[in-house]
Amino acid sequence: MRLLAFLLCSLAASAQDWPQFRGNPRLTGVTTATVPKTLKVVWTWEAGDAIESSAAVAGGAVYIGTHKSELVSLDLATGKVRWTYKTDGEIGESSAAVSDGLVFIGDLNGIVHGVNAADGKGVWKFKAGSEIKSSPVVSGAKVLIGSYDENLYAIDIKTGKQSWAFRTQGPVHCTPGVMNGVTYVSGCDENFRAIRVADGEQAYLIDSGTYIGASPALSDNFAYFGTYDNRVLGVNLVQKKIAWSYEHPQRKFPYYSSAAIAGDKVILGGRDKMLHCLDAKTGKEVWSFMTKARIESSPAVADSRVFFGSNDGRFYVVDLNTGKALWEFEAGAPISASPAISGGRIVVGTQDGKLYCFGG
């Protein structure tokens, strides 16, 4: 009975982790973890260079990449550094993924690193043909990640050797979403692709008609992402077609932020300085929230609240149902990274190299 209780507790704890970009392979940006109603800065850490990478949190440890060419692990409770791993190049937007005792991340020299989560020692490296801004996603025994060499790679999680590569017609900037054995790529080549994880063969393709920088958020039979021609698209994965398209009636700006999916709501930031909440079925606007600069941070959702940063240097909390402001923090530098939520804490980095941990 004690063993069973221990295992159940372990499973519950793991469900509260945020082990990769957007929290899970479907890239929904949503967690069941609780967050204190009243927030304050619990600790800060100075990276020594810009942080565009979003944090991963697993087993009480934070993993963050920096422009100082470092992957760093910190204690979630105290902010103390556990270890530092030197990468071959700067880490841009690629964010860590944690699985099976390993941490994975890509750098701007095109290297994917497999690192021991316990002590920060390198286990393997994989060399792509160009820079990596995509974040790794673990699916079974494979690490999936895109590169500016126009390939989506599947890498063996244990050995770091290539399982397969799928060649697109443009840089693979997005983080691939994974659902039901299929990985989905919203591409710089204007195509939305479904690729089988098992063998790297394309299942189907949908022409979006525009450049896409955002990663796809997946829920049931739909995918959601913003585009560079100022639209947000809802794609029906069963019918294999675009179900709806949203465009703000006045403010025509691209979308770079990746969406969060919370029930019947799709939430994402725009370069129009606004956070948009859309109806997941129809694409109609539910509410919007205005900041003072473009929003490239991808929102996270917990406890009926939405958490996100803006390039105006502020970290915001708004009500999921109404879009009303609940709290904000003046960081003083643009926040393009996305928040990670775990253990009653929220972790997010800034472009001036500070990592903030908010809690009660």
pLDDT per position as a tens digit, 142-157: 999 999 999 999 999 9
Cβ partners under 8 Å of residue 217, min gap 6: 22, 26, 27, 28, 29, 177, 223, 224, 225, 258, 259, 260, 261, 266
pLDDT 10s digits, 264-288:
999 999 999 999 999 999 999 999 9
**Residue 339 contacts residue 326 (beta carbons within 8 Å):** no
Domain assignment present for residue 320? The answer is yes
**What does the pLDDT read at residue 309?**
98
Domain assignment present for residue 219? The answer is yes
**Residue 166 contacts residue 182 (beta carbons within 8 Å):** no
Domain assignment present for residue 3? The answer is no
Domain assignment present for residue 139? The answer is yes
Average pLDDT value over all residues in the chain: 95
- Residue 307's CATH number: 2.130.10.10
Task: Write the burial class of residue 241 (CB in 10 Å: 0-12 exposed, 13-18 middle, 19+ buried).
Answer: exposed
The model scores a pTM over 0.85: yes
Cβ partners under 8 Å of residue 330, min gap 6: 313, 314
State which residues form the domain around 278: 17-359
Domain assignment present for residue 6? The answer is no
**What does the pLDDT read at residue 16?**
85
Domain assignment present for residue 263? The answer is yes
Q: Based on the structure, what is the number of domains in the chain? A: 1
**What does the pLDDT read at residue 230?**
94
Which parts of the chain sit beneath pLDDT 50?
1-13
Q: What is the DSSP letter of 6?
A: H
**Residue 173 contacts residue 159 (beta carbons within 8 Å):** no
Cβ partners under 8 Å of residue 287, min gap 6: 277, 322, 323
